[in-house]
Amino acid sequence: MAEFKYPLQTLWAWCLYAITETQTSMSRNSGTSKIWKWIAGIIIVLIAIVASISIYFSIRWKPVLTQKIKDVVYNGSEHMYSLNFKDIHLNLLTGSVTVDSILLAPDTAVFNARKKSGTAPTHLFQVKLEKLQLRRISILTIYFRKKIEMNDIILKHPSINMIYNKVYKKPTPVKDRRSLYERISKTLKSVHIKGIKIEDADFDYVSGATGQLLNSVKHLNMHVKDLLLDEHSKSDTTRFYYTKDISFEMTGYSSLSKDKMYTMKVDTITGSAIGKTVHVKGFKMIPMYPEIQFSKMLKTQKDRYNLAFDQIDFRGVNFYRLNIRGILQAKALRIKNGNAKVFMNREMPPGHGDKSGNFPHMALKRLPVETTVDTLQLRGVNVAYTEYNPISQEKGTVHIDRLTGNIYNVTNDSTSLSKNRYAVAELDAYMIRAAQLHIRINFDLLAKNAAFTFKGNIGKMDMVKLNPLSKALGLVTIESGQIQKIDFDVKANAKGSRGTMHMYYNNLKIELLKEGEDGKPAKKKGLLSFLANTLIVKDENPSKGKPVRTADIVFDRPPGASFFNLLWKSVFIGMRETVGLGIVPMKTPEEGRRVVVEKLRERKEKRQEKRAEKKAGKEKN
């Protein structure tokens, strides 16, 4: 260690040694070789000088730099934060600085004092960092030209806790309106960093009051490209906050819903500020329990969702508005190649809540973020709505496959709504895996009663393919029938729907079913089916020599009915009315549940009576 104790002496010793060796070597050679020996000697001397100066200043500057960094953080945060690290490595030769095991921690005593005075921030940060690297720093440029030139900054595996605190804020004086460059211009002329990388970061959002984890993001990578801070960069329209781009990537996101009934998963999320894009791949919302078990755990009628989307893409995202005002504005949101399965168990009690608040345009109002998406694009989405009917003891599923189309003006922003209060959906799909469907839905985004209208048409269909629905939900089996087309036009709101339907069909024959005894499956009503086909059911529309019949759609919505249920039941009632079954009373799911509950009670009483009889018989014997 002696050479580090006296660095200048060491430097001259190295120089003299190098010169002596060079001269000795020259005395043994002549001509061209002498020139190369001289050059080699000079290079050796220069390397020795630079290396020795670098070592000398690194040793002398290390404690000074360490303390300076800590003081800057402590004083710059007004004593709110302290910075500690294990070691700092400074290499003037390569222009690099490496800091190991960094901990940035808030001082809770200072925070609490500022909280009482009304000057505390809403969020506190606790940051742990495995390693911080600053590479290719031009020290001479900083010293002589007052410019920071750097190749890149790398933050390896940071762990960031963002702690939310509810604080009282005193009215603040006039804010400093100077730009970031104007604030540093007295000290530095410019700052230029070619890249900033955050590798494999973990981010936790925590409640300061309870310590509860509110949200968590793991394995986040960020890249800031070409940060330039000078007198011209603020007005450079090709930059986003002084950078050429800020991009991010997150992989393997997973979280449990607040009610612990769903797991949310995402394969990857990527985005670019300059590209104005966010790409989500592999989004899933997975129920924690099977359909019937899930519904019984909720105690009342609630939809169970099972969602999986291959791609969700935002385009034209205004990151400036999102950052400054917290408003999400995008030109387009595309959902591509996905499945949305919804299940409802009608055996459960309906509960006291009204699900109209979950209609799409009503749920949009409740979003915590002001949102405007010019066009929501659906591409190849399969929707399946399933109900369990306690009367038939069966499930009926409405399949809407290959759903494709656009929804325009998706917004809850007051400014946008003052210009246009309607969101319009133009959608095409393959319905019940049997016929083409086109539907136009007009949502009134300002209506308090969840008002909307829908109209559309259904193409040719073999009516036998309706049996999974008609049997489970309507206690009707279709033996034959062909639909040419269906047109419908309906007005709806939270209370129900009213509208008209024209259904063109022929050769219809049906069988009526009755509910099974003691909870058994439904059975055929032979005589009633014959009478229905003979006297009630109209086997075609239009009938020979008569105009097309118009069916009136009248559906009084139960409070527990979902948006999709309202759409489907409106169409289903129109079809029943058209074929003549509207006069046949149809139990509501709630009435069906009461029948099943009553029959189960009767069976239980019968079992208890039999047990009592057996017990009495044994006692006699």
Quote the CA–CA distance of 488 and 141 in Å, as a whole number. Answer: 75
- Answer yes or no: is pLDDT of 27 > 90: no
Query: DSSP alpha helices (H): ranges in 510-621?
Result: 526-531, 563-579, 589-620
* pLDDT at residue number 576: 86
Q: Bigger pLDDT: 22 or 602?
A: 602
Question: pLDDT: is 32 or 473 the higher one?
Answer: 473
What DSSP assignment string belongs to 464-514?
GGGHHHHHHHHSEEEEEEEEEEEEEEEEEETTEEEEEEEEEEEEEEEEEEE
Question: Which three-class secondary structure state does DSSP give residue 45?
Answer: helix
Question: Which pLDDT value is given to residue 5?
Answer: 45
More confident residue, 364 or 604: 364
Q: Span 228-233, mean pLDDT?
A: 89
Q: 342 in helix, strand or coil?
A: strand
* 205 DSSP β-pair partners: 162, 215
Mean pLDDT for 550-556 is: 94
- pLDDT value, residue 439: 97
Pairing between strand 370-389 and 327-345?
Answer: parallel
Q: Using alpha carbons, list the distances in angstroms from residue 478 to 412, 482, 570.
A: 44, 11, 19
User: What is the chain's percent helix, strand, coil content, to nearest 5?
Assistant: 35, 45, 25
Q: pLDDT at position 467, please?
A: 81
Residue-by-residue DSSP string for 112-139: HHHHHHT---SEEEEEEEEEEEEES--H
Instruction: Quote the pLDDT of residue 7.
Output: 46
Model confidence at 3, pLDDT cuts 50, 70, 90, reads very low
How high is the pLDDT of residue 11?
Answer: 43
**Highest-scoring range by mean pLDDT, 22-31, 34-43, 141-150, 596-605:** 141-150
pLDDT tier, 16 (very low <50, low <70, confident <90, very high otherwise): very low
Range 471-491 average pLDDT: 85
Rounded Cα–Cα distance for residues 347 and 389 (Å): 7
Instruction: Report CA torsion sign: 608, 614, 615, 616.
Output: positive
Burial class (CB in 10 A: 0-12, 13-18, 19+), 561: buried
Does residue 583 have a pLDDT over 80?
Answer: no
Per-residue confidence (pLDDT) for residue 603, from 0 to 100: 62
Asked if pLDDT for residue 155 goes beyond 60, the answer is yes
More confident site: 505 or 514: 505
pTM as predicted? 0.77
Give the chain's mean pLDDT: 82
- What tokens were used for 95? 């222009």
Percent of the chain with pLDDT over 70: 80
Top mean pLDDT of 201-205, 298-302, 503-507 is at 503-507
Check pLDDT > 60 for residue 525.
no
pLDDT of residue 279: 97
Name the more confident of 492 and 344.
Answer: 492
Comparing 6-10, 177-181, 250-254, the range with the smallest average pLDDT is 6-10
Residue-wise pLDDT tens digits, 204-217: 888 888 888 877 88
pLDDT for the residue 474: 59
Which tokens hold the place of 446?
Answer: 């300002």
pLDDT (0 to 100) of residue 43: 52
CA–CA gap between residue 57 and residue 325 (Å, rounded): 47
Res 51 pLDDT > 90: no
Tracing tokens 């003891």 back to the chain, one arrives at 393
Structure tokens at 486: 């269906």
Would you state the pLDDT for residue 55?
A: 54
Q: Beta strand 262-272 with 422-431: parallel, antiparallel or unpaired?
A: unpaired
Position 476 scores a pLDDT of: 73
* Residues paired with residue 502 on neighbouring β-strands, in sequence order: 487
Confidence of residue 424 (pLDDT cuts 50, 70, 90): very high
Residue 292, C-beta contacts closer than 8 angstroms, at least 6 positions apart: 345, 388
Contacts of 607 (CB under 8 A, 6+ apart): none
Rounded to whole angstroms, how far apart are CA atoms 556 and 573?
11
Asked if pLDDT for residue 455 goes beyond 90, the answer is yes
Distance CA 147, CA 141 (A): 6
Retrieve residue 547's tokens: 């105009």
pLDDT of residue 523: 55
Q: Which comes out higher in pLDDT, residue 467 or 106?
A: 106
Helix (H) or strand (E) holding 15: helix 7-27
Provide the pLDDT for residue 22: 45
Res 572: pLDDT:
87
Quote the percentage of the chain above a pLDDT of 90.
42
- Residue 445 pLDDT exceeds 60: yes
Cβ-count burial of 453 within 10 angstroms (0-12 exposed, 13-18 middle, 19+ buried)?
Answer: middle
Q: Is the pLDDT of residue 12 over 80?
A: no
pLDDT one-digit tens code per residue, 287-342: 999 999 999 998 888 889 999 999 999 999 999 888 877 889 999 999 999 999 99
pLDDT digits (tens, 9 = 90+) for 571-581: 989 998 998 87
Between 194 and 117, residue with greater pLDDT: 194
Q: What is the pLDDT of residue 280?
A: 96
